[in-house]
Amino acid sequence: MGSHARETIGFQDLAVPLLGSLYNHAQWLVRDPVEAEDLVQETLTKALRAFGSFEPGTNFKAWIYRILRNTFLTSRTAIANARTVYLEDHPDVLEVAEPGLTPEAEVIKLNDLAALRTALEQLAPHLREVILLCDLEELKYREIAAVLDVPIGTVMSRLARARQNLRQILTSNSGDSL
């Protein structure tokens, strides 16, 4: 696809349909509506500037999510989160050794989207990020690897860990509420 085609399918044709998703992802990252809008605005500014380097035929969504993430990483919130992600204590989660829900019980629990949303909020940010990119944004493993700048093997192990932890948190929260 040459420059003519690039002009035919313009930046706005690719970016506008993704604004809602970008905003949603941004708010999961920064946890504040005003900061989320700022983050998407800054992402759009950088993406517009760099659009000439976008390779037509590749996944625009993965490309702009990478810019969003890199923009986030330079933000004050990301630096604060980086400290919280790995070092903060979660003793209530630690007590759960095995994902205790049976598949049937899990289906019942999963119908409670509010509980699942709470569990997602409790998930470590780097695990939540990978599960959002996979399950919500439906990016392929190789695209997630490009967005996060990690090998595909890391994407796979993080996804497995994210899902395991999500089940553990759901189980823990379920026990708390009984």
The tokens describing 72, both together, are: 């986030």
Question: Which one of residues 68, 78, 147, 159 is an interface residue with another protein (CB under 8 A)?
Answer: 159
Return the range that interacts with another protein (CB under 8 A); candidates 55-63, 72-80, 88-96.
88-96
* DSSP 8-class letter at 95: T
CA dihedral 13, 17, 20, 21 (to 10 degrees): -100
Q: How many CB atoms within 10 Å of residue 174?
A: 18
Q: Does 178 bind another protein (CB under 8 A)?
A: no
* 3 state DSSP class of 89: coil
d(CA 147, CA 150): 8
Q: Is 98 exposed, middle or buried (0-12, 13-18, 19+ CB in 10 A)?
A: exposed
Q: Does 55 bind another protein (CB under 8 A)?
A: no
* 3 state DSSP class of 82: helix
Return the range that interacts with another protein (CB under 8 A); candidates 55-63, 70-78, 164-172.
164-172
Non-local CB neighbours of 128 within 8 Å, separated by 6+ positions: 28, 120, 162
Return the range that interacts with another protein (CB under 8 A); candidates 6-14, 55-63, 66-74.
6-14
Report in angstroms how near the CB of residue 100 gets to another protein at its nearest.
Answer: 13
Return the range that interacts with another protein (CB under 8 A); candidates 55-63, 70-78, 157-165.
157-165
Residues numbered 97-156 forming contacts with another protein, rule: CB under 8 A:
97, 103, 106-107, 110-111, 113, 116-117, 120, 122-124, 126-127, 131-132, 134-136, 140-141, 149-154, 156
Q: Does 9 bind another protein (CB under 8 A)?
A: no
Report in angstroms how near the CB of residue 173 gets to another protein at its nearest.
Answer: 12
Report in angstroms how near the CB of residue 76 gets to another protein at its nearest.
Answer: 18
Binding mask 13-42 for another protein (x = CB under 8 A): --xx--xx--xx--xx----x--xx--xx-
* Site of tokens 């630096």: 79
- Contact between 44 and 15 (Cβ < 8 Å): yes
Smaller CB distance to another protein: residue 147 or 166?
166
